[in-house]
Amino acid sequence: MSFFQRSDESLKHTRPPDWREYQRRLQRQRRPRRRIRPLRIRPLWVAGLLLLVAAVVGGSLFQGKPSAPVARHDAPAPPRPTLPDRVDKTVAQALIKPSDLLNLSSAQFTVEGDGQPLVVETTLDMDLQRSLVEALDTRTARSIAVVAVDPATGRILAMAGYARDGQNGNPCLDNRFPAASLFKIVTAAAAVQEANLNGASPVHFNGGRYTLYRSQIKENVTRHTTTIPLQDAFAGSVNPVFGKLGALRLGMDALNRWAEAFGFNQTIPFEAPLEPSHFEASADAYHLAELASGFNRKTTVSPLHAALIAAAAVNTGRLYEPSAVARIVDAAGRVRYESQPRLLGTPMEERTAAEIAAMMEASVRKGTCRKPFLGSARHPVLQHLTIGGKSGSIDNQDHSARIDWFAGWATEKQGDGEIAVAAVVAHEKYIGTRAGAYVRHVVTDYFGRLFAARKAEAAALGRAGGQNGGGRG
């Protein structure tokens, strides 16, 4: 049976409409369609509607009241928080953002506090600061951070950097950089002080210098074993030596204790928010070897913290709280905050610090830190300095950038001038200006100006003396 046949059969059972239904259908068919007229918007209607909305939302329009909801009289606005007469670093962190301290071109800036402008006077050496900011090479770098510190006080002398993604606001305070071989400074200090080693102590390793396999952390001496002094192992950044120190001589408890003594996992007081550097050890021998040698991406450190660690080597083992703010002054001229040198801790004894300083000096003289300071013996400024450092490099987690570290210090051979510097660069496809080059720039610029100022002062005193002498004659 076709579709049409089924339809015909179904019609036999349908009931025809009655006479009234037939009439109603005819009326609906004959009824003309109504035309829909367009709505005419009259200006008076619009004005009235606007007045009504204004009255409901914000009160009378003619009395000039705001359109925002009016606070109820029985619920007064909370009072504006007031600052104490004397502000500490914790309170200063609520006023100063990390980005406020990055790449400054002036020695002071203004923040809001207590409903008034507060003038923040920094500790920066502005000649050094401007020179460093101009030297930043951002063409091929994902991020750059350079921090210069006065080792004896913790005073920040320069802070400059660049971050393509803009995260954190200040890469110098970013705690996410893998520490890499910088952590060998901590391991070496622990080995000297706890394992009774020194720079001349013989250490052994098998295989390559820069690899770290499980077979390399076993204490087996064969005819293929290399034996060198600990100072040379530090200068050459020999991973198996420091891996064995961590796994076989120090252990988990000692590494955790020494890392925390150097400031890892600790809140370091500063005038802007500064997240702690990270270190975490387990009992696994190979994991301890990775941590002790810096052959991992889990141990992280901020550039500011790295500068403090380097500074301890030339400051008899003492760590000072960092400070980038000298004073905060209110509109009435009252000093609300004033920084003073404050000891953060003494992670290593003076003799240990002297050993670490000698190892860092050897690293610049003949090790992995040698290249940035080539020609120092003939340089008009660098020849008058003793320079030490520790380098480090490692890929980031997804291997899209190469993390390049240099943390070091420079002191006068004859004089009391000194500076500590840490620099890190995240290189991408091409290697641009290296971290060691930034450290050399800071050291050369800082001491070059210092020597020039002393020379000018001596010349001025000489002229004054000559004039006085001529008068007496």
In order along its 473 residues, the chain shows pLDDT tens digits of 433 344 444 434 445 555 456 556 655 555 555 554 555 556 555 556 655 555 544 443 334 333 343 344 445 544 445 778 888 899 999 999 999 999 999 999 999 988 899 999 999 999 999 999 999 999 999 999 999 999 999 999 999 999 998 777 999 999 999 999 999 999 999 999 999 999 999 999 999 999 999 999 998 888 899 999 999 999 999 999 999 999 999 999 999 999 999 999 999 999 999 999 999 999 999 999 999 999 999 999 999 999 999 999 999 999 999 999 999 999 999 999 999 999 999 999 999 999 999 999 999 999 999 999 999 999 999 999 999 999 999 999 899 999 999 999 999 999 999 999 999 999 999 999 999 999 999 999 999 999 999 999 988 888 877 676 544 43
Please tell me the predicted confidence (pLDDT) of residue 24.
Answer: 62
In terms of DSSP bridges, do strands 385-395 and 402-412 run parallel, antiparallel, or are they unpaired? Answer: antiparallel
Strand partners, 388: 409
Q: Write the pLDDT tens digit of every residue in 181-205.
A: 999 999 999 999 999 999 999 999 9
Question: φ, ψ for residue 45 (rounded to 5)?
Answer: -65, -45
Q: Note the CATH architecture for domain 121-458.
A: 3-Layer(aba) Sandwich (3.40)
Report how far residue 303's alpha carbon sits from residue 176's, in angstroms, rounded to the nearest whole number. Answer: 10
Please tell me the predicted confidence (pLDDT) of residue 229.
Answer: 98
Q: Write the pLDDT tens digit of every residue in 7-30.
A: 444 434 445 555 456 556 655 555
Query: Vertex 158, ends 157 and 160: CA angle to 5°?
Result: 165
Task: Spell out the residues 6+ positions from residue 450 whose beta carbon is closer than 8 angstroms to its own.
Answer: 417
Long-range contacts of 129-134 (CB under 8 A, 24+ apart): 129/104, 129/105, 129/157, 129/158, 129/159, 129/160, 130/105, 131/441, 131/445, 132/158, 132/160, 132/438, 132/441, 132/442, 132/445, 133/103, 133/105, 133/160
Please tell me the predicted confidence (pLDDT) of residue 54.
Answer: 53
Please tell me the predicted confidence (pLDDT) of residue 4.
Answer: 35
Q: DSSP class of residue 248?
A: I
Of 398, 316, 319, the closest CA to residue 354 belongs to: 316
Domain limits, the chain:
121-458
The SS3 assignment for 44 reads helix
Report how far residue 323's alpha carbon sits from residue 339's, in angstroms, rounded to the nearest whole number. Answer: 7
Strand partners, 423: 146, 406
- Helix (H), strand (E) at residue 421: strand 418-427
Residue with tokens 């240990």, as numbered in its chain: 352
Please tell me the predicted confidence (pLDDT) of residue 76.
Answer: 54
Say what the pTM is.
0.81
Report how far residue 37's alpha carbon sits from residue 469's, in angstroms, rounded to the nearest whole number. Answer: 110
Report how far residue 258's alpha carbon sits from residue 263's, in angstroms, rounded to the nearest whole number. Answer: 9
